[in-house]
Amino acid sequence: MNRRYRISPEGRPQEPTDAEIARYRDPKRLVYNYHRATRLFHRRPLYKDPKAFLALLLIVLLAWFISEVVDKEHQAKAPPATDQVTE
């Protein structure tokens, strides 16, 4: 957090006006900021979040399917093994 301090020979700056105080008196905004700040530390794990779990499952299944297809194509292109003995 970056704080700025103003040190002057005149002393402390003037007190905020009533309009400035009223501008910062927004309880809904305060609650929203509090929930947003605390939610960052207490996120739900991926395996408990249904959308994230389905997305991860889809990615894993897609990767497995692609690896199976590539493996079958690789086996189809390989020359057949011969059991001939040369002397």
By 3-state DSSP, what share of the chain in percent is helix, strand and coil, each rounded to 5?
55, 0, 45
Q: Is 21 helix (H, G, I), strand (E, B) or coil?
A: helix
pLDDT given for residue 85 in this prediction: 64
For the chain, residues with pLDDT lower than 70 are 1, 12-13, 40-42, 78-87
Instruction: Give the model's pLDDT for residue 37.
Output: 79
pTM of the model: 0.41
